[in-house]
Structure formats: structure tokens, C-alpha cells
């Protein structure tokens, strides 16, 4: 694929991420922050998010282990943190699930929480794949450019 084609692909992949609601404006903010000093800023931030979310997810799962004795306050706090973190990269769909989760939490519905959390993790993983693909494309297009 030549450079131009790659660039096209990058652009359309990117657009679809927004169109399909995976990402919101925050992602664009990150792109704006990328500059000569930090040429891979967006990718770095996304990686950081994903590596940090491992521990956040663990916290939540731990808090839901003992179904008969759930500390919903704590659970809500953890989810609040996770949501905050997701907002950093503009993970729109993930955040939606976070909000739903907090509603169940508020209602004291642990089963609901568990179900939603599964969906949440799926969205989380899906976005990760998509972004990885996207960044690879970007690199390829960049390489093609310099070639």
C-alpha cells in the first residue's frame, strides 16, 4: 500500500472510532497535545491507561467477590476511579458502562453490577484492540511517508 492509501486508511479508521461512539472529544484533545516534544503522546497515554486499568479492574472484582457482603460504597468509589481514568482517553462506550454500573451500585443490585461489569470489560477490550490497530496503521503510514 502506498503512502496515500495508508493515510486514507488511517483517516477512515480514526473517523469510524468516533462515528461508532468508541471515542469522544477527549481523544482529540490528546491529539492536540501531541507535538515534537512528545511525538507519540496519544499512544503513550493510551498504553498508560490500559496498564493502569488492570489494577482498577482488579479492585472492582475483588470488591464483588463476596456477594453476600458487598461494600457498595467502596465499589462505587472504585468504579468512580475507573470512570475517571476512562475519561482521560475519551473511552466513550466504556464510560457509559461505568455509569450504568454505578446506577446498579446505588441500587444495591450486585447481580446487575456483575453483569454490567462483564459488558464493561468487553468494551474495554474491544477499544483496546481497535486502538492498537489504529496506532499500527499510523506507524505504517508514517514509515511510508519517510520512505
Partner 1 sequence: MMENNGFSSPRNDSFPAGLRVLVVDDDPTWLKILEKMLKKCSYEVTTCGLARDALNLLRERKGGYDIVISDVYMPDMDGFKLLEQVGLEMDLPVIMMSVDGETSRVMKGVQHGACDYLLKPIRMKELRNIWQHVLRKKIHEVRDIETLERVESFQMTRNGSDQYEDGHVLCGEDLTSIKKRKHIESKHDEKDTGDSISTKKARVVWSVDLHQKFVKAVNQIGFDKVGPKKILDMMNVPWLTRENVASHLQKYRLYLSRLQKENDFKNPAGGIKQSDSPLRDSAGSFGSQNSINLQHNDVSNGSYRFSGSSLVVHNGDPRSHDSDRKRLVSTPVEEPKRTFTVNVPNPCIPRSSQMEFGHPLAPPQSEVDFGALDSTFPTKYPWCGIPEIQLKKEHNPLHLNDEFSHLPLPGQKQLTQADYPQPAPAISSAPSLTPSHNEYRSNVNHASSTAIAVDSSPIQTKTNVANHQAIELISKSTPSLENQGFNMNSITEFESSRKNINLGMLPFTTLEEDLQVCWVPGDCYMNLGLQNIEVLEYFDPGLITDVPVNLNDGLRFDYEFNDPTEYSLIDQSLFIA
The verdict on 106 binding partner 1 (CB under 8 A) reads no
Can you tell me which residue has the cell 473511552?
Answer: 91
Q: Are 52 and 85 in contact (CB under 8 A)?
A: yes
Interface stretch with partner 1, choices 23-31, 67-75, 115-123, 128-136 (CB under 8 A): 23-31
Q: Are 112 and 124 in contact (CB under 8 A)?
A: no
CA nearest to 88, candidates 26, 23, 25, 132: 26
CA nearest to 141, candidates 28, 22, 9: 9
Q: 88 vs 109, which CB is nearer to partner 1?
A: 88
The verdict on 44 binding partner 1 (CB under 8 A) reads yes
Smallest separation, CB 78 to partner 1 (Å)? 10
Distance CA 41, CA 135 (A): 11
Q: 28 vs 144, which CB is nearer to partner 1?
A: 28
Q: Are 110 and 64 in contact (CB under 8 A)?
A: yes
Distance CA 137, CA 10 (A): 6
The verdict on 96 binding partner 1 (CB under 8 A) reads no
The verdict on 94 binding partner 1 (CB under 8 A) reads no
The verdict on 67 binding partner 1 (CB under 8 A) reads no
Identify the residue among 9, 26, 109, 140 touching partner 1 (CB under 8 A).
26
Positions in the binding site for partner 1 (CB under 8 A): 25-26, 29-30, 32-33, 35, 38, 41, 44-45, 48-49, 52, 77, 80-81, 83-85, 87-90
Amino acid at each position: 500500500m502506498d503512502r496515500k492509501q495508508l493515510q486514507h486508511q488511517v483517516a477512515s479508521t480514526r473517523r469510524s472510532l468516533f462515528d461508532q461512539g468508541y471515542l469522544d472529544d477527549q481523544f482529540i484533545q490528546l491529539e492536540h497535545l501531541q507535538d515534537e516534544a512528545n511525538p507519540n503522546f496519544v499512544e503513550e497515554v493510551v498504553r498508560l491507561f490500559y496498564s493502569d486499568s488492570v489494577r482498577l479492574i482488579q479492585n472492582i472484582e475483588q470488591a464483588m467477590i463476596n456477594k453476600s457482603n458487598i461494600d457498595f460504597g467502596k465499589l462505587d468509589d472504585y468504579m468512580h476511579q475507573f470512570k475517571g481514568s476512562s475519561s482521560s482517553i475519551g473511552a466513550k462506550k466504556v464510560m457509559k458502562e461505568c455509569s450504568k454500573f454505578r446506577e446498579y451500585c446505588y441500587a444495591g443490585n450486585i447481580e446487575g453490577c456483575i453483569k454490567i461489569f462483564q459488558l464493561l470489560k468487553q468494551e474495554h477490550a474491544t477499544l483496546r484492540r481497535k486502538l492498537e490497530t489504529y496506532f499500527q496503521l499510523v506507524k505504517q503510514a508514517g514509515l511510508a511517508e519517510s520512505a
